[in-house]
Chains A and B, each alone.
Chain A
């Protein structure tokens, strides 16, 4: 019977092309507007590390100004000092832990046609890949020693390996990064979490690193980070050693704590860690540290802020307005065809089948509206990408789930819009329409 209803719906829609187009447009515009904002919100609030929410924790230590808390909801700096990060790495409590920051530079291949080009880099301790569950295609991470001593080793992303080596196993080969030769020790699958939950200091939605370098290289290369460095104290920085020993915060720190006991011990450890440093005259504020799992970290960093949410509600309200329009149009259309419904009733259609027939017609309008709504969403997102100039590329795009949701939203909306008109028409007394034609 549904097939019959669909063919009747098609015939009916073709019979009133302008009215049908208006209804489809009403649904499409509403769906387009709300899906654009919903997609942005969804993509922005996606937690790429959700499956590790129980075990991963971003570490914060409050080494800030005694007179003024760090200006964020946690009232602690987002990042750690170099010296604290180095000391924390010595703890054997976490299953894995990572100290890291953003960097970058030109990469080139000796004797290759390829012109040197700039890549995003991440200077990190070796556990990065294990902690974030990033699989290797070739090779593996560098040895523990490389986290403390300079070792010119490098891990490439799949994309970079593709570009430099045509996708071959490049482990053991040499690449030139920032003017120095590095030995490739591993190639990882491309890893582009968006938002970049592991580093929300440097553009929530920018692309992730292409190459990874050991944390032990700081002194040898005198690495200054690309990205945020914050300080509160006036310090004389005359050498790179001064930079490393300063109260400047620029290192992101994550720890993996698999069990509650580990968590307990790590808390005690951090408490002791801060007490020790207080005794040395550092950490002048009340003792405070933070351990936030990826979800909490995203919320704390306000990746999706109140304005974004407001916009979603506004666009849903707009969809509602479009729906009210669709209801009015549907009602007009259905009531115009009431005599036909009367004839169908006389020929044996139940009120329910008249209702279904008209609801199916609404659903068809919704389906068409959904398809066009997707096109409108794609246009809307393209506009946003244009306006954001590269800052929103990873979020202002639709995945299959969002496309299906758009169709679902459109059909649901049109069914809702059709509910009342279909009910009205199914309840009208057929005999009224049968007397004359």
Chain B
């Protein structure tokens, strides 16, 4: 479902050029649960942003569902993001002055769904994460774990086939982290493809497959290159 070929991403400022990804190639199949690990600054978030169509690679080819997304304009990329991709962030990123209900409503609005259909989906998503009773609450009124569950509900409400999670448990204690992980595994069992960046080796092991990014490239686990450290070019 996801196929990246020789992706390069570099950030250029006035004085330095940073190669966040270089010669990065990866394929993820439908239904997989892939965990991504690697040292800080190695390019994990950059990879997720490109996979989620939030950023464009400097060069290389990215096929999502066999479609070359390099040729799409902003509107089409946004529509694809809205329909196929769900995001979960380390910082939850709920909109603080919207209720849980309205937060989950956001992607459905951009989908252009009718009011009744949106309500149905929002209620179902809240139920899935066990927060039906809190629909009217503001994010600040919830614990971190609950907020992350709302963020997951928001990512799920649009029924994406592809869920991208960037350290979803990074800000949570181990109990909460386990609950979120169980939720993600449950979602994956129902068919959603998941790519999750994590620093937690235990969680990483629970995925079908673990890939390690080192210095902007997928490290070859078989050959023990995992010890390489990030470096800025």
Q: Interface on A for B, CB 8 Å cutoff?
A: 1, 4, 11-12, 15, 339-340, 342-353, 429-431, 434-437
Contacts and interface: CB of A to CB of B under 8 A. Distances in A.
Interface stretch (B24-32, B76-84, B127-135, B201-209): B76-84
A350 B91 contact: no
11 contacts: A1-B112, A343-B93, A343-B106, A348-B111, A349-B78, A351-B78, A352-B74, A353-B78, A434-B91, A435-B45, A437-B91
Contacts of B78: 345, 348-351, 353
Contacts, number: 81
B220 interface: no
B12 to A, nearest CB: 14
A340 B106 CA distance: 11
Interface in B25-64: 45, 49, 52, 54-55
Interface in B85-143: 87, 89-95, 97-98, 106-107, 109-112
Contacts of A352: 74-75
What 10 pairs across the A-B complex have the smallest Cβ distances? A348-B82, A437-B91, A350-B78, A347-B107, A348-B110, A431-B49, A436-B91, A346-B87, A350-B75, A431-B54
A336 to B, nearest CB: 12
B145 interface: no
A353 B111 CA distance: 12
B51 to A, nearest CB: 12
B158 interface: yes
A344 B55 contact: no
A347 B74 contact: no
Given A430-B54, A435-B91, 9 more contacts: A1-B109, A4-B109, A346-B54, A346-B81, A348-B78, A348-B82, A349-B82, A350-B77, A434-B89
A345 B54 contact: yes
A200 to B, nearest CB: 60
B89 to A, nearest CB: 6
A119 to B, nearest CB: 64
B154 interface: yes
A346 B164 CA distance: 11
Contacts of A351: 74, 78
A348 B92 contact: no
Specify the main secondary structure of chain A where it touches its partner.
helix
A436 B90 contact: yes
Nearest to A342: B93
B9 to A, nearest CB: 11
B93 A437 contact: yes
Given A1-B109, A346-B81, A429-B55, A434 B93 contact: yes
B5 to A, nearest CB: 21
A345 B95 CA distance: 12
A343 B77 CA distance: 15
Nearest to B170: A436
Contacts of A11: 97-98
A345 B75 CA distance: 11
A423 to B, nearest CB: 13
Contact of B83 (A343, A348, A349): A348
Contacts of A348: 78-79, 81-83, 107, 110-111, 158
A434 B93 CA distance: 7
A60 B34 CA distance: 95
Given A349-B78, A434-B54, A344 B106 contact: yes
B95 A437 contact: no
A353 B110 contact: yes
B129 to A, nearest CB: 17
A347 B93 CA distance: 11
B55 A347 contact: no
A428 to B, nearest CB: 12
Contacts of B90: 435-436
A350 B107 contact: no
A208 B87 CA distance: 73
A89 to B, nearest CB: 74
Contacts of B81: 346-348
B125 to A, nearest CB: 13
A4 B106 CA distance: 10
Contacts of B112: 1
A361 B98 CA distance: 16
